[in-house]
Chains A and B, each alone.
Chain A
Amino acid sequence: GAGVSQSPSNKVTEKGKDVELRCDPISGHTALYWYRQSLGQGLEFLIYFQGNSAPDKSGLPSDRFSAERTGGSVSTLTIQRTQQEDSAVYLCASSPRTGPDGYTFGSGTRLTVV
């Protein structure tokens, strides 16, 4: 497709379980970003990839969160031992350049931890 694709669109998991969230960026986009959108909190930056490298992972809230990107394309965000406060919409964006004006966001994965 032409846009950023995220899967699953919805995920309900039990507290303590691990989850993997997937992002398929637009083909050729070298920059990839993960953000988290919690109710009433706005979007919070998690991690930035340039190619397969993550020069900025300063937004990851704890060591339970990790992300990787392979082949300069697909990225996976993994949350281990999920907690209820992890419930949020996780948004991925890709960009063909490193400037801030080229972002295209996916529709997000809505994660609910019960």
Chain B
Amino acid sequence: QKEVEQDPGPLSVPEGAIVSLNCTYSNSAFQYFMWYRQYSRKGPELLMYTYSSGNKEDGRFTAQVDKSSKYISLFIRDSQPSDSATYLCAMSGNQAGTALIFGKGTTLSVSS
């Protein structure tokens, strides 16, 4: 079992839909949870960052972390065609400089 599991999709939704993206993990030492967005032939860019459990909201994006279930989610409200990209979850422990462990990414397509 990989440390981080993420359904690769693809996921196709109409404009305006609510999108739910999820990852599960096995390492209970993970404390930092991130969501990255990656457009084709570009590097990943950080969307959301959460420490430990809880929710975090930023505009149309909401990140949720449930450490008891080892499950994290990213919700996108009122999805736009510009949200079409690959979404990667990433996690790490507490040590300084520790590497991020990434999911394989979910490819999202939002049609207008």
Contacts and interface: CB of A to CB of B under 8 A. Distances in A.
Q: Do A and B come from one complex?
A: yes
B25 interface: no
A55 B97 contact: yes
Interface string A30-49: 01010100001111110010
Nearest to A6: B43
Nearest to B103: A42
A56 B101 CA distance: 14
A107 B41 CA distance: 7
B76 interface: no
A91 interface: yes
Nearest to B101: A45
Contacts of B98: 56, 100
Nearest to B89: A42
